[in-house]
Amino acid sequence: MKLKFLGATGTVTGSKYLLQHDNKKLLVDCGLFQGLKELRLRNWAKLPVDPASIDAVVLTHAHIDHSGYLPLLVKNGFTGPVYCSEATYDLCRILLPDSGYLHEADARRANKYAYSKHKPALALYTQKDAEACLQQFTTIPFGKPHELPGGLNLTLSRAGHILGSSFVRISDNQTTLVFSGDIGRAHDPVMNAPAIIQDADYLVLESTYGDRLHGPADPLEMIGEIIRDTAARGGSIIIPAFAVGRAQSLLYYVHELLATKAIPVITVYLDSPMAINTTGLLCKHLNEHRLPENLCAEVSHVAKYVRTAEESKALDHQNGMPVVIISASGMATGGRILHHLKYFLGDHRNTILFTGFQAAGTRGARLLAGEEKIKIHGKMWPVRAQIETLHNISAHADYGEILNWLGNFRAPPRKTFITHGEPAAALSLKTKIEAQLGWQVEVPEYLQEVEL
């Protein structure tokens, strides 16, 4: 076996791992690069492997940094199956066409306002491209081995990160690899705990929070305090949120705050067709999370759904009453949230509340760094609103939770590869695993290939 790292090295985006076995090629995850321009340019560059030569793809989960390159892979010649869990497929049916739509919309806007260096600006891929790739998906149940090309066996286990998220176990009956994808949290109030994994010859492990611990503060209390304080000064709370996972967790917290009268009655808007459609999947996949059916229904309806662009624009021109707007994207890299930021950033009464990791180079990271002006749609906008962040609402395990999860292994893997983290986070987790568990750990570089 050979393993080549085509992404998620030195960054938290672009997850792609090429596994070669008996002249067969398997791609585990197929994500887009996001954040810094030098990373985003990789999306446009030729893939280091011919898509037509890949026999199959396996997805750990549906987030765009793990699945969003699929439409381009298919467009450029990949014809094999895409294996994933049922909920991952349901989410990809929402996320991938939406991603294509956003690429088209960004290109149209860049051409209209002439703020792109490319003449004309083009979409990386289209909504039609994304819909076409969905024809190649095959779902498999958790816990049941499935045969892959080349005599490999695939088994998925629940990772507890978002609906459908999976640990991917691949074996040729002699050597076993486990890909963590993104690891969820054992005590998340919504998602079920990650499955226990006890053995692997090789482990590819994420490190998004490899150098951090989530704070001990209760997210419910922190969100409640921010909403109360902002509303008291006549401001609104604008929450850039990942449409899958984070938006649903926020709806749960807001539901609990309103139900216990911990915040004043305030109108909540969910302004993201993708997040709305994802929220609708909660009650379809009840076995994936902790919410009983009746509570799931209540959480799903705590916000007013904003589906059309016209309805979204109207949110920025109301009568001045405080509102909560939850909108994508979580790192403020695109989508409707940008229009809300342009309107609400300039007023000191408002709060922009980030609820998770912000990759280097994203608007979210720059706002949290205290920049006084931010570029949106080719124009600089003043930042006067309060900028807040919640780290302990993350759907990613922190390094303590990762170490606890690794503690279930009966024997150390021959080698553990640390990926999907900023350099400092990956190195920090490597050091901690070596010191506390005594394992052999490596932080691979982009395009590095290892013989297993």
Do 254 and 154 belong together in one domain? no
pLDDT recorded at residue 114: 77
Do 92 and 239 belong together in one domain? no
SS (H, E, C) the chain: CEEEECCCCCCCCCCEEEEEECCEEEEEEECCCCCCHHHHHHHHCCCCCCHHHCCEEECCCCCHHHHCCHHHHHHCCCCCCEEECHHHHHHHHHHHHHHHHHHHHHHHHHHHHCCCCCCCCCCCCCHHHHHHHHHHEEECCCCCCEECCCCCEEEEEECCCCCCCEEEEEECCCCEEEECCCCCCCCCCCECCCCCCCCCCEEEEECCECCCCCCCCCHHHHHHHHHHHHHHCCCCEEEECCCCCHHHHHHHHHHHHHHCCCCCCCEEEEECHHHHHHHHHHCCCHHHECCCHHHHHHHHCCCEECCCHHHHHHHHHCCCCCEEEEECCCCCCCCCHHHHHHHHCCCCCCEEEECCCCCCCCHHHHHHCCCCEEEECCEEEECCCEEEECCCCCCCCEHHHHHHHHCCCCCCCCEEEEECCCHHHHHHHHHHHHHHHCCCEECCCCCCEEEC
Do 59 and 115 belong together in one domain? yes
pLDDT recorded at residue 109: 83
Close Cβ partners of 89 (under 8 Å, ≥ 6 residues apart): 134, 137, 139, 164
Do 378 and 400 belong together in one domain? no
* d(C-alpha 416, C-alpha 202), whole Å: 6
pLDDT recorded at residue 118: 74
* d(C-alpha 65, C-alpha 72), whole Å: 13
* d(C-alpha 79, C-alpha 11), whole Å: 28
pTM score = 0.89
pLDDT recorded at residue 51: 98
Residue 273 is part of a domain; what is its CATH number?
Answer: 3.40.50.10890
Do 354 and 402 belong together in one domain? no
Do 244 and 328 belong together in one domain? yes
Number of domains comprising the chain: 2
Which structural domain, as residue segments, surrounds residue 36?
2-212+395-451
Q: pLDDT tens digits, residue range 155-214?
A: 999 999 999 999 999 999 999 999 999 999 999 999 999 999 999 999 999 999 999 999
Q: Which of 389, 407, 432 is the last residue of a domain?
A: 389
Do 319 and 402 belong together in one domain? no
Do 310 and 204 belong together in one domain? no
Nearest one of 140, 244, 238 to 184, comparing CA atoms: 244
pLDDT recorded at residue 182: 97
* d(C-alpha 210, C-alpha 403), whole Å: 10
Residue 138 is part of a domain; what is its CATH number?
Answer: 3.60.15.10
Q: Which of 341, 360, 389 is the last residue of a domain?
A: 389
Do 370 and 411 belong together in one domain? no
Do 410 and 385 belong together in one domain? no
Do 227 and 163 belong together in one domain? no
* d(C-alpha 367, C-alpha 383), whole Å: 8
* d(C-alpha 264, C-alpha 280), whole Å: 26
Task: Supply the mean pLDDT for the chain.
Answer: 94
Q: Which of 372, 389, 406 is the last residue of a domain?
A: 389
Do 346 and 418 belong together in one domain? no
Q: Per-residue pLDDT for the chain (452 aa), expressed as one digit of tens each? A: 999 999 999 999 999 999 999 999 999 999 999 878 899 999 999 999 999 999 999 999 999 999 999 999 999 999 999 999 999 999 999 999 989 988 998 888 888 887 777 778 889 999 999 999 999 999 999 999 999 988 899 999 999 999 999 999 999 999 999 999 999 999 999 999 999 999 999 999 999 999 999 988 899 999 999 999 999 999 999 999 988 889 999 999 999 999 999 999 999 999 998 899 999 999 999 999 999 999 999 999 999 999 999 999 999 987 778 999 999 888 898 889 999 999 999 999 999 999 987 877 889 999 999 999 999 998 999 999 999 998 788 889 999 999 999 999 999 999 999 999 999 999 999 999 999 999 999 999 999 999 99
